[in-house]
Amino acid sequence: MAYKLVILGSCGVGKSALSVRLVDNCFETDQYPTVKDFYTEIVVDGKFCQLEILDTPGNEENPHRFRELLHWGDGFLCVYAVDDIKSFVDVNIFREQLLRVKNTDRIPFVLVANKADVDNCLVSPVLGQETARSHRVPFVETSAKTGQNVEHAFHEIVREIHRVRAEKLPDAEQNQGCGFKYCTIL
């Protein structure tokens, strides 16, 4: 199956570094705003998955382009850095924009706390977990530098896409009324 993933988050939280760690298994320290596509294949729960990952710059200077990206994505990793309180606050802004654009309250979304390897943690894991719980989404602590839980975060977003699609499937089947099964062509 193919999945279109969008990585959201403020500048400097490690969005590109997470993608590079997953795709190339290395750590990049590039601090420039990035808009880049990554492609990779992973196995999630025994199933082969093709990922197209769009890394956003975090400074969303072009609101029209940003809305297009939100429409385009199947699932969203929203990243904050544990050493940057503002990036944690910005998570709610990104989530609200996403909910508004998608016009639904159930979106495949994973909250990711990156830079778990740093000593100067300003956002506790408990705060991240509480926020994820309040939004009813998975929470994953990662470190792009060490590789900690990076693959797990991407596995979680694929699982979330499956969960949300399964929740919507019965509604779609009921609305068909003519006996046809709901089908999504990717």
Q: What are phi and psi of 23, to 5 degrees?
A: -75, -45
Which domain does 129 fall in, by range? 2-176
**CATH number of the domain enclosing 16:** 3.40.50.300
Question: Does residue 145 sit within a domain?
Answer: yes
Question: Does residue 169 sit within a domain?
Answer: yes
pLDDT digit string (tens) for the chain, length 186 residues: 899 999 999 999 999 999 999 999 999 776 655 667 899 999 999 999 999 999 888 766 677 888 888 999 999 999 999 999 999 999 999 999 999 999 998 999 999 999 999 999 999 999 999 999 999 999 999 999 999 999 999 999 999 999 999 998 765 554 444 444 444 444
- Which pLDDT value is given to residue 34? 60
* C-alpha count within 13 angstroms, C-beta hemisphere, residue 83: 11
- Total domain count for the chain? 1
- Which pLDDT value is given to residue 184? 45
Q: Are 67 and 91 in contact (CB under 8 A)?
A: no
Question: Does residue 157 sit within a domain?
Answer: yes
Question: Does residue 181 sit within a domain?
Answer: no
Q: Is 183 exposed, middle or buried (0-12, 13-18, 19+ CB in 10 A)?
A: exposed
Question: Does residue 167 sit within a domain?
Answer: yes
Tokens of 165: 């699609």
The pTM (predicted TM-score) of the whole model is 0.87
Question: Does residue 183 sit within a domain?
Answer: no
- Which pLDDT value is given to residue 171? 56
- The SS3 call for residue 185 is coil
Question: Does residue 83 sit within a domain?
Answer: yes
Question: Does residue 49 sit within a domain?
Answer: yes
As a whole number of angstroms, the distance between CA 52 and CA 60 comes to: 20
